[in-house]
Amino acid sequence: MDRTLFIVKYLFASLGLIFICVGLWQYFETNALINRAYSTKGVVIDLIRGASSESSSGNYKPVVRFKTERGEEIEFVSGLGTSPPLFDRGEIVTIFYQPDSPENAKIDEFWSLWFFSVLSGGMGIISFSVGGGMILFSSLGKKREERLRREGTRIQAKFNGVELNRRLRVNNRSPYRITCQWQDPVSSKLHIFKSENLWFDPTDFVKTKTITVFIDMKNPKKYYVDVSFLPETVT
């Protein structure tokens, strides 16, 4: 299961970077088109349904007719379909086109120009945030563990049992956590500790009544339950 999580977090992060790169590429391509292109007026002569034409809620793509600076009459279909349509039949719109490929013209409207850049970039940011967040959380957890092992106070907490962490599910499975408790001899406060997530039931491997915990005495909420006594899992 650890291997599955490892794959998932790096897959999300990698896909996020790919989508972000695609979004940036589309942005620069569109921006270059606008900077190099000719601008003129066109008229929406028709609205055609997209792939979901069987449905009454299908997306409508505008068909635009315009004349180039050479006097050529060009018709093109916008790549973006919406429901309801963004334009009406007979509406005058501003367009950008390249003289050598006027059939690839674009309507000067935000979503017509930038929709795919925003879509790819948005998907990339979300995916990278999920994967990157998982990687960062794992990295910070390891650093905290190392710091507590090095600087924390080593105590022996009473073993309470093993619980399922039902807040987390991967492949319809929830991980296990070892729980233990310790009463501070100075303040008499009772502290409950929970181990990291374990993807196997560790009950049979707990042979003692106490579990080693490394704790920050200045802030007891910062602790690490030592599970190094458990066998290493092979996946």
pLDDT digits (tens, 9 = 90+) for 130-139: 999 989 988 8
Strands 176-183 and 92-98, sheet pairing:
unpaired
Strands 210-215 and 190-194, sheet pairing:
unpaired
pLDDT for 1 beyond 80? no
With a threshold of 0.75, does the pTM exceed it? no
**Alpha-carbon span 12 to 19, nearest angstrom:** 10
Domain boundaries along the sequence of the chain: 2-118, 152-225
Q: Are 171 and 207 in contact (CB under 8 A)?
A: no
pLDDT for 9 beyond 90? no
Tokens 């006027």 belong to which residue?
102
Query: Pick the residue with more confidence: 3 or 113?
Result: 113
Q: pLDDT tens for residues 110-167? A: 988 999 999 999 999 999 999 999 899 888 888 999 999 999 999 999 999 999 999 9
SS (H, E, C) 109-147: CHHHHHHHHHHHHHHHHHHHHHHHHHHHHHHHHHHHHHH
Q: Are 165 and 174 in contact (CB under 8 A)?
A: yes
pLDDT at 168: 86
